[in-house]
Structure 1
Amino acid sequence: MNNKQKLFCKYYIETQDVKIATKKCGYKENTGIKLLKDERIKNYIQENIKNEKVANSDEIIECLTKIMRGKGDKDDDNLLKDISVRERLKAAELLGKVYSIFSPKQDNSKEESVFIVGSDLIRE
């Protein structure tokens, strides 16, 4: 499979539209339909669709960062949704955990006993 075919697959996965995917790659529409009949192309698309359904760690971190910064998605009216302070703090907390920013406090107030070996040899 060549790079142009992989690019076609990428656009097809994103849009689920043969016309758009073929135009973006510079193919004729008939070529896109033929490509979708090719077993290698079908398998490549199926495998990548499976991978697209599960968010990877970079996507999760990117999403949390957007929420923390108050950059939400758009609603049905194409207006940005407000993100509450509570949601922003929760996103910041989760990011802090990812990056191990919050480490458990160490208790340095323990009393420890010291035993001196050979203390019977010490003169007072």
Structure 2
Amino acid sequence: MTEKQKIFADEYLIDLNATRAYRVAYPSVKKDEVARANASRLLTNANVKKYISEQLEKIHSQKTADAQEVIEYLTSVLRGESTSQEIVVEGIGDGMSEARTMEKGPSEKDRLKAAELLGKRYSLFTDKVEVSGLEEEKKKLGDILEQLRGDG
């Protein structure tokens, strides 16, 4: 991949605007139609396509939590190990108050929700589903099949 193609690809990754990226990489091109056509052609270049795909995958991996990270976070909330900052207002006398931030552990409600989500993930809870009328439905289906075959 050439240096200009790399510049194009890096610029394209900023906002996915191929025409703008082409103009940055090739500033001598002034016409929009030419920039648009050449940008489109560059996006089909195997090396440029591969580079853009790799960079998008890298960005995705860095910014997206995976299942393990989510489970670890929920576990830390459940165990009361995570903290968050909250703003509290305290009276300091003479009708005056002052705001400050303080570290706070997860509430009982937060811990219960984390336990619920982890329980769902590991299928710890099962809902009993009662099925009724199954025999009646089988008979109806049998009757329909008989009619379709021409038996009835």
Same fold (TM over 0.5): no
TM-score (normalizing by structure 2): 0.36
Q: Which has the higher Rg, Structure 1 or Structure 2?
A: 2
